[in-house]
Amino acid sequence: MTDIDALAARLRAEIGVRRVLTDRQELRTYECDGLAHYKVVPALVALPVTAEQVAAVVRACAETGTPFVARGSGTGLSGGALPHADGVLVVTSQLREIVEVRPEDERAIVQPGVINLQVTKAATPHGYYYAPDPSSQQICSIGGNVAENSGGAHCLKYGFTTNHVTGLEVVTPDGERVRLGGPAPDAPGYDLLGAFVGSEGTLGVATEVTVKLTRLPETVRTLLAGFPSTDQAGAATSAIIAAGVVPAAIEMMDVLAIEAAEAAVRCGYPAGAGAVLIVELDGPAAEVEAQFDEVSALCSEHGAFETRVAADDTERALIWRGRKSAFAAVGRISPDYIVQDGVIPRTALPTVLRRIGEVAAEHGVRVANVFHAGDGNLHPLVLFDDAVPGQASRAEAVSGAILDLCIEHGGSITGEHGVGVDKAKYMPRMFSDDDLDTMQLVRCAFDPAGIANPGKVFPTPRLCGERPGRHQGTHPMHAADVAEIF
Partner 1 sequence: MGALDELTSPAGEQDAVCGVPARLVAAPRDTAEAAALVTAARGLAVVIRGGATKLDWGPPPRELDLIIDTRRLAGVVEHAAGDLITVVRAGTPMAELHGLPGQQLALDAPPSATAGGTVAANASGPRRLRYGTARDLLIGITVVRPDGTITKAGGKVVKNVAGYDLGKLYTGAFGTLGLITECVFRLHPVPAATSFVRAAAPPLHAAKILAGQFAASALEVNAAPGAEPELAVLLEGTPAGVRERAAAVAELLDGEVSAEAPEWWDVPPWPGDGVGIKLTGTLSQVPALVATAVGAGATVRGSAGAGVLYAGFPTDDTGRAVELLRAAAVRAGGHAVVLTAPAGVRETLDMWGPVHGLALMRRVKDQFDPGHRFAPGRFVGGI
Ligand X SMILES: Cc1cc2nc3c(=O)[nH]c(=O)nc-3n(C[C@H](O)[C@H](O)[C@H](O)COP(=O)(O)OP(=O)(O)OC[C@H]3O[C@@H](n4cnc5c(N)ncnc54)[C@H](O)[C@@H]3O)c2cc1C
Q: Which residues bind ligand X (CB under 6 A)?
A: 33-34, 69-77, 80-81, 92, 112, 134-136, 140-141, 143-145, 147-148, 150-152, 200-201, 205-206, 327, 416-417, 453
The item of partner 1, ligand X, none sharing an interface with residue 178, based on CB under 5 to 8 Å by kind, is partner 1
Residues 458, 439 contacting (CB under 8 angstroms): yes
SS3 (DSSP) at 271: coil
**Does residue 312 belong to the site contacting partner 1 (CB under 8 A)?**
no
φ and ψ at residue 21, rounded to 5 degrees: -110, 135
**Does residue 425 belong to the site contacting partner 1 (CB under 8 A)?**
no
**Does residue 479 belong to the site contacting partner 1 (CB under 8 A)?**
yes
d(CA 119, CA 142): 9
Chain centre distance of CA 247: 21
Using the minimum distance from each CB to partner 1, give the nearer residue, 18 or 467: 467
d(CA 225, CA 370): 15
Beta strands in 196-301 (DSSP E): 205-212, 214-215, 219-227, 249-254, 275-283
In the list 284, 335, 364, 461, the residue contacting partner 1 (rule: CB under 8 A) is: 284
**Does residue 53 belong to the site contacting partner 1 (CB under 8 A)?**
no
**Does residue 428 belong to the site contacting partner 1 (CB under 8 A)?**
no
Is beta strand 44-46 parallel, antiparallel or unpaired with respect to 88-91? Answer: parallel
In the list 108, 241, 359, 401, the residue contacting partner 1 (rule: CB under 8 A) is: 241
The residues that bridge with 380 in the sheet, in sequence order, are 369
**Does residue 375 belong to the site contacting partner 1 (CB under 8 A)?**
yes
In the list 66, 75, 145, 172, the residue contacting partner 1 (rule: CB under 8 A) is: 172
In the list 96, 179, 355, 394, the residue contacting partner 1 (rule: CB under 8 A) is: 179
Using the minimum distance from each CB to ligand X, give the nearer residue, 206 or 236: 206
Half-sphere exposure of 425 (CA within 13 A, CB side): 4
**Does residue 213 belong to the site contacting partner 1 (CB under 8 A)?**
no
Using the minimum distance from each CB to ligand X, give the nearer residue, 208 or 254: 208
Alpha carbon distance, N-terminus to C-terminus of the chain: 39
The item of partner 1, ligand X, none sharing an interface with residue 144, based on CB under 5 to 8 Å by kind, is ligand X
d(CA 484, CA 180): 12
Query: What DSSP string runs through 329-387?
Result: HHHHH-SEEEE--EE--GGGHHHHHHHHHHHHHHHT-EEEEEEEGGGTEEEEEEEE-TT
d(CA 249, CA 135): 13
Q: Give me the least distance between CB of 293 and partner 1, in Å please.
A: 10
**Does residue 185 belong to the site contacting partner 1 (CB under 8 A)?**
yes
Task: Find the helix packing angle between 349-363 and 391-408, rounded to 10°.
Answer: 160
**Does residue 467 belong to the site contacting partner 1 (CB under 8 A)?**
yes
d(CA 262, CA 75): 25
**Does residue 390 belong to the site contacting partner 1 (CB under 8 A)?**
no
Q: Give me the least distance between CB of 447 and partner 1, in Å please.
A: 10
In the list 49, 445, 454, 459, the residue contacting partner 1 (rule: CB under 8 A) is: 445
**Does residue 135 belong to the site contacting partner 1 (CB under 8 A)?**
no
Here's the x/- map for partner 1, 75-104, by CB under 8 A: it reads as ---------------------------x-x
Of 64-72, 89-97, 129-137, 437-445: span binding partner 1 (CB under 8 A): 437-445
Q: Give me the least distance between CB of 209 and ligand X, in Å please.
A: 8
The item of ligand X, partner 1, none sharing an interface with residue 205, based on CB under 5 to 8 Å by kind, is ligand X
In the list 149, 230, 232, 307, the residue contacting partner 1 (rule: CB under 8 A) is: 149
**Does residue 215 belong to the site contacting partner 1 (CB under 8 A)?**
yes
Beta strands in 156-216 (DSSP E): 165-171, 177-181, 205-212, 214-215
d(CA 234, CA 222): 18
Residues 51, 110 contacting (CB under 8 angstroms): no
The footprint of partner 1 on this chain (CB under 8 A) covers a number of residues equal to 102
d(CA 239, CA 299): 9
Using the minimum distance from each CB to ligand X, give the nearer residue, 144 or 234: 144
**Does residue 12 belong to the site contacting partner 1 (CB under 8 A)?**
no
The item of ligand X, partner 1, none sharing an interface with residue 345, based on CB under 5 to 8 Å by kind, is partner 1
Residue 418 backbone class (left: φ over 0; alpha: ψ -120 to 50; beta: rest): left
Q: Give me the least distance between CB of 380 and partner 1, in Å please.
A: 15
